[in-house]
Amino acid sequence: MRAGPSQEEVRQHNLGALLRHVHHEGPTSRAVLAAGLGLNRSTILGLAGDLAAAGLVREEAPQETGRAGRPSLVVRPEPARAHVLAMDVGVERLSAALVGLGGAFLDRREHRWPAGQPQDPARVADLLAGFARDLLARRPPGGTWVGAAAAVRGLVRHPDGLVGLTPNTGWKDVDLAGALTDRLRRHLPDLPDLPVLVANEANLGALAEHRRGVGRGSRNLVYLHGEIGIGAGVISAGELLRGARGYAGEIGHLTVNPHRGRPCGCGARGCLEAEAGERALLEAAGRDGTGAEAVRSVVAAADLGDVTARAALHRVGDWLGIGIANLANLLDPDLVVLGGTLRDVYLGSAAQVRSRINTNALAAVREGLRLRVGALGDDTVLIGAAELAFADLLARPLETLARLSGR
């Protein structure tokens, strides 16, 4: 706040708050907005009017409520007016989507490759840039492109987005953000020159479940993402916890079995992902192959009574429980969300996971802790990337739109 915000800054802030509300919560009546934002109704009227004039929202009569009296108009986000490019460099697939204001997927592209096969960063950037060109060429008429973000599985430095390391695919110090920004600039010379943001997949998953999934209403949650390795995204007091350089959340490399542990791709021994990751599960179940489908087949086999599959899930659930107990003792979240393949692993080993948490987390910590599988399915990370890409517009809607619509 420093020298104190000006009237105009307060207005921009309130415009952002209103747009964020309808972007995340969907169509909302002016009366509910006034209560939710702590503003009076005439202020809401003015703010909604300004956003409607810019085309970002539409005001309309609510559906018939059957109640007497003049109904409060509903403010609805306009998906076609502003959209972002969300990209995800997954272990098994490369995805890109055009996502409209309000969170609707307007269009999408996907490329699958064999799980775990190392991918050349330049080829990844080429493929994503191709998707981007294609998606943006078909974007809604009258719409403005307001942001772009990509998720990677690895250590991503904040705020510049340098990919320091992807332990399971071997990238080291890769400037994917720069590579994508350059390609989009060349491919799309008529569009605004937008920097592509890059972030860690579990952080984006945490953002997605916090804003749109099972974590709505929680201000202290951890999202665990399984996909070969295990990553965590931590929301603390409503904000993403980044750490000093952006590397916070590397729960996959928590040492849980230091002396007898399995070797991990990071060079250490007994890391959580070496004990509870996909490879550990599949090996314990005596399966070849990798990837989500292989994990699901173990869970399905265990359901049908396969003893080896059950024992493998039991073993992995035990380690997963220790990992969750550790993060609970250290972070005291009220919610842990399991996503990616950990969703399936947890559904197949919930009793074991909970039993370990009961033993290894402090009573006061575990008593208030809920465990839930993610609500957003395979698009969780992509949804989080869209949220990150919308951040500028949602912080300063009219300024951002004016700047980007100019071209």
Query: CA 2, CA 163: separation in Å to the nearest integer?
Result: 33
Is there a contact between 99 and 106 (Cβ–Cβ < 8 Å)? yes
What is the smallest separation between the CB atom of 2 and a second copy, expressed in angstroms? 4
Distance, in Å, from the CA atom of 152 to the CA atom of 339, rounded to the nearest integer, reads 15
Look at residues 80, 79, 81 and name the one whose alpha carbon lies nearest to residue 102: 79
Q: Residue 231 Cβ, how far from a second copy at the closest point, in Å?
A: 11
Distances from the Cα of 298 to the Cαs of 113, 278, 292, 303, 306, in angstroms? 21, 10, 10, 9, 9
Q: Which is nearer to a second copy, 206 or 256 (CB)?
A: 256
Please, which residue, 105 or 247, has the CB nearer to a second copy? 247
* Residue closer to a second copy, measured from CB, 62 or 368: 368
DSSP one-letter code for 188: -
Minimal distance in Å, beta carbon 350 to a second copy?
A: 19
Contact positions vs a second copy (CB under 8 A) = 1-5, 7, 10, 13-14, 17, 37-40, 43, 155, 157, 164-165, 218-220, 232, 236-237, 239, 241-251, 253-260, 266-268, 322, 325-327, 329-334, 359-365, 368
> Cα(153)–Cα(85) distance, rounded to whole angstroms?
18
Residue 31 or 80 with smaller CB distance to a second copy: 31
Question: Please, what is the minimum distance in Å from the beta carbon of residue 74 to a second copy?
Answer: 22
Nearer to a second copy, 68 or 237 (CB): 237
**Cα separations (Å) of 308 from 31, 287, 298, 305, 314?**
58, 10, 9, 9, 10
Smallest gap from Cβ 140 to a second copy, in A, equals 33
Q: Closer to a second copy at the Cβ: 10 or 122?
A: 10
Q: How far is the CB of 271 from a second copy (least distance, A)?
A: 8
Name the burial class of residue 192, with classes exposed (0-12), middle (13-18) and buried (19+) by CB atoms within 10 angstroms of its CB: middle
Closest CA to 82 of 358, 395, 391, 390: 390
